[in-house]
Amino acid sequence: MARDVWSHTTVFCGHFPEGSQVFTEEQLDGETLVGWHLRQMVDSSNIDGTPLFHLTSGNLGHQIDHHLFPRMPSNRYAEM
Question: Running DSSP on this structure, what letter comes out for residue 70?
Answer: T
What is the count of structural domains for the chain?
Answer: 1
**Residue 59 domain-assigned (yes or no):** yes
CA dihedral 15→76→49→1, nearest 10 degrees, is: 60
Q: What is the pTM of this model?
A: 0.66
Q: What is the pLDDT of residues 29-78, one digit of tens each?
A: 999 999 988 888 888 888 888 999 888 888 878 888 888 888 999 889 88
What distance in Å separates the CA atoms of residue 23 and residue 46, rounded to the nearest whole number?
Answer: 19
Domain membership flag for residue 26: no
By residue range, what is the domain housing residue 38? 2-16+33-79
Give the tens place of pLDDT for each residue, 2-23: 878 887 887 777 677 777 778 8
Task: Quickly count: other Cβ atoms within 10 Å of residue 64's Cβ.
Answer: 17
Domain-located, residue 73: yes
